[in-house]
Structure 1
Amino acid sequence: MATDQDFIDYVAEQVALGERLTHKKMFGEYALYVDGKVVAFACDNSLFVKPSDAAASLAPGLPQRPPYPGARDYPVADELLDDSDTIRRLVLATAELMPVPRPRKAAAPRRRGR
C-alpha cells in the first residue's frame, strides 16, 4: 500500500518546521528531509525515523520494523505523531546527526545522434 499525501501533510503539520521539512516521492512512498538531510521515510502510512542515537535516547521504546522489504529495522514513530513537540525534537535531533548530502554532479550533456 502506498503512502497517502494526506499522511505526509499530517506529518508536516505535526512536525511544524515549515519549509525546512521537505519530502520526495519515491516508488509510492516518501523520503522526508530537514535542511536537505534525510531524516525519515513514510511507508504504508507509517513514519520510520532514521536509526540514530537521537531515536535511541529520545524515544527508546518505539517499535522497530523495516520500512520496506530488505531494509534493516527502523524506529516507527507513529505513536509520537500526536505529540508535536516530541516528534519535532526527534526529527531535529536526527537531522543534526545525519551527514550533509554530497553535492550532485552536473549531468553530462547529451549527445545528439546523427
Structure 2
Amino acid sequence: MASSLDFVEYVCGQIGGAGEITYKKMFGEYGVYCNGKIVGVICDNQFFVKKTEAGAAVYPDCKEASPYTGAKLHFVIDSVDDRNLMARFISATYNELPFPKPKKKKVPEKE
C-alpha cells in the first residue's frame, strides 16, 4: 500500500522545526530530506528515520524496523505529534549524517 500525500505532508509539517524539510517520491513511497540530506523515508504511511547515535540519545525508547525488505534498520516513529521532540530528533539525526556524495558527471563517449 502506497503512502498518502496527506500523511507525508503532515509528517513534514510536524518536523519542520528541524530545518528545511522536503520530500521526494521514490519507488512509490517518499524520501524525507532535512536541509538537503535524506533523514528518513515514509513507507505504507509509516515514518522511518535513519538510525544515528545522536537520534537515539534524543529518542532513546524508539522502536526499530526496516522500511522495506533488504533495508537497514531505521527508527520507527509512531507519533510525530510532539513537534519540539521531533525537531530535536531530526536535527540531531541530520547533524550526524554525512552529506550525499556528489554525483559524477557523465562524459559522452567519443565515436
Classify 1:66/1:45 alpha carbon distance in 2 versus 1 (closer, same or farther; 3 Å).
same
* 1:44-97 per-position Cα deviation (integer Å, ceiling 9, x unaligned): 111111000122111111111110011232111122x00011111111111100
TM-score by length of 1: 0.86
For 1:27, the aligned partner's letter is F
Query: Is 2:106 the partner of 1:102?
Result: no
Structure 1 SS opposite 2:47: strand
- Name segments (4+ residues, structure 1) moved above 4 Å: none
Shift of 1:106: 2.4
The 1:110/1:36 distance shift into structure 2, 3 A limit, reads: farther
SS at match of 2:31: strand
For 1:27 and 1:6, the matched residues in 2 are separated by 18
Residue 86 of structure 1: aligned partner: 85
Unaligned runs of 5+ in 1: none
Q: Distance in 1 between matches of 2:61 and 2:18?
A: 28
Q: Specify which structure has the higher proportion of strand.
A: 2
Structure 2 residue runs without a partner (length 5+): none
> 1:19: how far off?
7.3
- Identical pairs, percent: 40
Q: 1:35 to 1:110 in 2, by over 3 A?
A: farther
The RMSD of aligned alpha carbons is: 2.1
Question: In the aligned structure 2, how far is the partner of 1:50 from the partner of 1:66?
Answer: 10
2:90 counterpart SS class: helix
Give the number of aligned pairs.
111
Q: CA deviation at 1:20?
A: 1.2
The residue that corresponds to 1:71 in the other structure is: 71
What's the TM-score once normalised by structure 2's chain length?
0.88
SS at 1:76 equivalent: strand
| Bigger CA radius of gyration | 1
Q: How does 1:25-44 map to 2 (within 5 A)?
A: 25-44=25-44
